[in-house]
Structure 1
Amino acid sequence: MNNKLLSFYKMSGGGNDFVLFDNRKENLPKNYSPIAKNVCDRKFSIGADGMLVLEKTQEAHFRMIYFNADGSRAEMCGNGARCIARFAFLLAIAPEKMTFLTDAGILSAEIDQDFVKLQMSKPKDLKLDFPLKLEEGKELHISFINTGVPHVVLIVTDTDKTQVDELGRAIRYHREFAPAGTNVNFVEHKDLHNLIVRTYERGVEDETLACGTGVVASSLICATKNLVESPVSCLTKGGETLKIHFHKKEDNTFTDVFLEGPVKVCYKGEIEL
């Protein structure tokens, strides 16, 4: 079988990097999972945290399909969704204000030059301060929320001294969250509008420089604990700040949840697949 030379964009949203394909003409091979593992490999290919594929749909301006670097499909990726929104705008697929279909539902986004503000899907499955026993006998008190994908939030005193990879991996694979697993966020509270967030990402199986759904989850959990109020600025491992807006109701549910931050086009290229 002859391989095809296909165009791609490499983009970064707040430190999360992605390979993006416009597949409206269905040029990509039908099985996306091995393609994601291929193009996300940092040693032998382009390298990224994940792969985003844009497809046609009748329900919105376009459809977003997201795969993690390990080839697993995920319902949602906040920074990835912001990247594909700007990608669609740059290719004249969608206007400045757009809607697009994801596995987590229909989302909306607004482009302002190189900033993208994304309306998130409605958060669910909130669970506060429950115990989690690790294999070595250590017990943690953690919180959980699904902001499109599952997230554990653990508040720590100093993110710089937190063993993100070791502890994140232990929680990510814990039987409490089997079989799908969970993402894990370590959050340092600074003041009413500022957090520092480090995230161990499921599917990347490592700490990433940022996680959009993770900073949203961290902000909402901290808001439920009355530690922060909207808007919340989250400083990520990559050194960039992502801003989260939300409306908190008296029953600790949330509406009008937005993720805002910069999106960068790193480069455009072609790859043989």
Structure 2
Amino acid sequence: MADPALTARALARRAVHASILAAARARLTDEGPSQLSLRAVARDVGMVSSAVYRYFPSRDDLLTALLIADYDELGAAVETADAAAGSDAGARWVAVCRAIRTWSVAHPGDFALLFGSPVPGYAAPRETVEPASRTTLAIVRVVADATGSGASAGRHGSPRPPAAAPGMVGPAVADGVAALHAFGTELPEELLIRTLMAWTTVFGAISFELFGHYVGSVSDAAAYFDEVVARLADDLGFAAVFD
């Protein structure tokens, strides 16, 4: 429903802004992020390029808007799935991970922008950090709640550090510790590194699926993903719960 406080001019501008973003997202799927062109997007929405520049002064401004929109959309999907899964951490873990994959499979071009190869000449500004953190924080909250509530343990129970690489954990996850502190969240060091491993594995598995690297290896990507999710939960010290 439109905000009655907005003028007709503002509503029209919002509609054009949305149509430009939608056209740009379609081009992400067809051509990939590195090929995104303001002129091509302008043609798609029936505008001259000079008119599009009034909404997005440069390709980088358009890429930033796309990143924020995509991160927020993915984050909202994950948070909604988490909330709908109930209080059991194992069920929430499965719901969150599946929501990440479902969104990604439905939006392969957007996934490529967020998690694929960097776009040459573009550096994401600071304003993308908070939207980008929504999905990661959802994962961290599930793990923190699982370990704090005594959720049913996996085969290994509470995670214990491996014997290898003594003294390397702290330096390896120093940035992660700082990031969690910035968002008011804490995890024990060993659990943090396992959570980081789980986070990167979830997105790595989806990346392999979307970029075609499972050909000849995995015949059912959804079933394989669920197996990955279950084993990651076990490594984190609790059991995944599938519906």
Task: Sort the TM-score into its range (normalised by shorter chain).
Answer: under 0.3
| Structure number with larger C-alpha Rg | 2
Q: TM-score, normalised by structure 1?
A: 0.23
Higher strand share: 1
Structure ranking higher on relative contact order (CA contacts 8 Å, 6+ apart):
2
Structure number with higher helix proportion: 2
TM-score by length of 2: 0.24
